[in-house]
Structure 1
Amino acid sequence: MAFRLVAKGYTQRYGIDYQENFAPVAKIKTIRILLSLAANLDWPLHQFDVKNAFLHGDLEEEVYMDLPPGCNFTRDKGNQVCKLKKSLYGLKQSPRAWFGRFTKSMKFFGYTQSNADHTLFLKRDGKKLTAPIVYVDDIVVIWKRHGRAIETTKYLSREFEMKDLGDLKYFLGIEVARSANGICLSQRKYVLDLLAETGLLGCKPADTPIEMNHKLCEGMDQEPTNKEQYQRLVGRLIYLAHTRPDIAYVVSVVSQFMHSPNVSHRNAVDRILRYLKLAPGKGLMFSKNRDLEVVGYTDADWAGSITDRRSTSGYFTFVGGNLVTWRSKKQNVVSRSSAEAEYRGMAHGVCELLWIRRLLTELGFKPGKPMELHCDNKSAIDIAHNPVQHDRTKHVEVDRHFIKEKIEKKIIRLPFVKSEDQLADILTKAVCSRVFYDSLTKLGIGDVYAPT
Structure 2
Amino acid sequence: MRSKLKDKWLAAMAEELRALEDNGVWRVVRKLKGAHALHTKWVYKTKMDAEGAIERLKARLVACGNEQEFGVDYSVTFSAVIEMSSVKLIFVLARKWRVPAKHGDVPNAYVKADKEAELDIFLHLPRGMMIPEDVRRRLGVDNDSELVLELLKALYSLKQAGRLWNQLLHKTLIKLGFAQSLTDMCVYHRRREGILVVVGVYVDDLLVTGMEQQAVDAFFGELTELSIKDLGPASKFLGMRVSYDEDEGYDLDHELTIEEMLREHGMASVHSVRTPIGAESNEIDEASDELLPTSEGDGVVTVRKFQSLMGSLMWVERCTRPDIAYAVHKASRRTHSPTMSDWKLGKRIARYLAGTKSLRLSMKGQGASEEPLKVIAYSDADFAADKADRKSVTGGLLTVDGMPVSWVCKKQTGVSLSTMEAEHTAASVMATELLGVRELLGKLGITHASPMSLRVDNQAALKQLDGEGSSSKAKHIDVRIKFVGGLAKRGVLKAEYLESEKMPADVLTKALDAPRLADLRVIVGLH
Which TM-score band (shorter chain)?
Answer: over 0.9
**CA separation of 1:334/1:68 partners in 2, compared to 1, >3 Å: closer, same or farther?**
same
CA distance in 1 between counterparts of 2:290 and 2:503 reads 38
CA distance in 2 between counterparts of 1:58 and 1:406 reads 46
8 Å CA contact retained: 1:302, 1:335:
yes
- Cα deviation code 1:22-47 (max 9, x no counterpart): 12211111011111222233122111
RMSD between aligned residues = 2.3
Superposition deviation, residue 282 in structure 1: 0.9
**CA separation of 1:210/1:9 partners in 2, compared to 1, >3 Å: closer, same or farther?**
closer
Residue in structure 1 matched with residue 337 of structure 2 by the alignment:
260
* Partner-residue secondary structure (3-state), 2:445: coil
CA distance in 1 between counterparts of 2:198 and 2:262 reads 36
Matched residues, number: 445
**CA separation of 1:89/1:235 partners in 2, compared to 1, >3 Å: closer, same or farther?**
closer
8 Å CA contact retained: 2:464, 2:471:
no
TM-score by length of structure 2 reads 0.79
CA distance in 2 between counterparts of 1:284 and 1:146 reads 25
The one-letter code sitting in structure 2 at the alignment partner of 1:230 is F
CA distance in 1 between counterparts of 2:448 and 2:168 reads 34
8 Å CA contact retained: 2:124, 2:149:
no
Between 1:288-297 and 1:305-314, the stretch displaced more is 288-297
| 1:419 lines up with 2:500 in the alignment | yes
Between 1:1-10 and 1:42-51, the stretch displaced more is 1-10
**CA separation of 1:198/1:124 partners in 2, compared to 1, >3 Å: closer, same or farther?**
same
Unaligned runs of 5+ in 2: 1-13, 21-60, 126-130, 293-301
Query: Residue 143 of structure 1: which of 198, 210, 215 is its match?
Result: 210
- Cα deviation code 1:310-363 (max 9, x no counterpart): 100110011011111101011111111111111111110000011011112223
CA distance in 2 between counterparts of 1:161 and 1:359 reads 29
Query: Residue 232 of structure 1: which of 308, 315, 319 is its match?
Result: 308
**CA separation of 1:76/1:140 partners in 2, compared to 1, >3 Å: closer, same or farther?**
same
Query: Residue 290 of structure 2: which of 218, 223, 227 is its match?
Result: 223
Unaligned runs of 5+ in 1: 447-452
Residue in structure 1 matched with residue 483 of structure 2 by the alignment:
402
Query: Residue 248 of structure 1: which of 325, 342, 346 is its match?
Result: 325
Residue in structure 2 matched with residue 449 of structure 1 by the alignment:
none
Between 1:388-397 and 1:128-137, the stretch displaced more is 388-397
| 1:75 lines up with 2:157 in the alignment | no
Sequence identity (%): 31
Residue in structure 1 matched with residue 57 of structure 2 by the alignment:
none
| 1:176 lines up with 2:242 in the alignment | yes
The one-letter code sitting in structure 2 at the alignment partner of 1:348 is V
The one-letter code sitting in structure 2 at the alignment partner of 1:367 is H
8 Å CA contact retained: 1:183, 1:287:
yes
The one-letter code sitting in structure 2 at the alignment partner of 1:65 is I
| 1:352 lines up with 2:433 in the alignment | yes
* Partner-residue secondary structure (3-state), 2:120: strand
8 Å CA contact retained: 2:122, 2:150:
no
Superposition deviation, residue 168 in structure 1: 0.5
- Cα deviation code 1:253-305 (max 9, x no counterpart): 00013233233222222211221121211120111312520011100001000
* Partner-residue secondary structure (3-state), 2:405: strand
- Cα deviation code 1:49-105 (max 9, x no counterpart): 101111122344511123643573511699998765432333211110111111111
Which structure would you say has the larger Rg?
2
The one-letter code sitting in structure 2 at the alignment partner of 1:229 is K
Q: Whose relative contact order is higher, 1 or 2, with alpha carbons under 8 Å and at least 6 apart?
A: 1
8 Å CA contact retained: 1:218, 1:257:
no
8 Å CA contact retained: 1:127, 1:144:
no
**CA separation of 1:288/1:416 partners in 2, compared to 1, >3 Å: closer, same or farther?**
closer
The one-letter code sitting in structure 2 at the alignment partner of 1:75 is G
Superposition deviation, residue 117 in structure 1: 1.3
**CA separation of 1:240/1:308 partners in 2, compared to 1, >3 Å: closer, same or farther?**
same
Correspondence list, 1:187-206, <5 A: 187-206=254-273
* Partner-residue secondary structure (3-state), 1:282: coil
8 Å CA contact retained: 2:462, 2:495:
yes
The one-letter code sitting in structure 1 at the alignment partner of 2:74 is Y
Between 1:195-204 and 1:73-82, the stretch displaced more is 73-82
Residue in structure 2 matched with residue 51 of structure 1 by the alignment:
107
Correspondence list, 1:285-324, <5 A: 285-290=362-367, 292-324=373-405
The one-letter code sitting in structure 1 at the alignment partner of 2:241 is E
8 Å CA contact retained: 1:17, 1:61:
no
8 Å CA contact retained: 1:67, 1:80:
no
Between 1:231-240 and 1:15-24, the stretch displaced more is 15-24
Correspondence list, 1:428-439, <5 A: 428-439=509-520
CA distance in 2 between counterparts of 1:23 and 1:67 reads 22
Query: Residue 160 of structure 1: which of 212, 226, 240 is its match?
Result: 226
* Partner-residue secondary structure (3-state), 1:261: coil
Superposition deviation, residue 392 in structure 1: 2.6
8 Å CA contact retained: 1:64, 1:81:
no
CA distance in 2 between counterparts of 1:37 and 1:216 reads 44
Residue in structure 1 matched with residue 179 of structure 2 by the alignment:
112
The one-letter code sitting in structure 2 at the alignment partner of 1:169 is S
- Cα deviation code 1:425-449 (max 9, x no counterpart): 1111112222211111111101xxx
Query: Residue 86 of structure 1: which of 143, 148, 153 is its match?
Result: 153
| 1:27 lines up with 2:104 in the alignment | no
Query: Residue 374 of structure 1: which of 455, 458, 482 is its match?
Result: 455
CA distance in 1 between counterparts of 2:271 and 2:469 reads 55
**CA separation of 1:99/1:430 partners in 2, compared to 1, >3 Å: closer, same or farther?**
same
Between 1:379-388 and 1:278-287, the stretch displaced more is 379-388
**CA separation of 1:439/1:74 partners in 2, compared to 1, >3 Å: closer, same or farther?**
same
8 Å CA contact retained: 2:101, 2:208:
yes
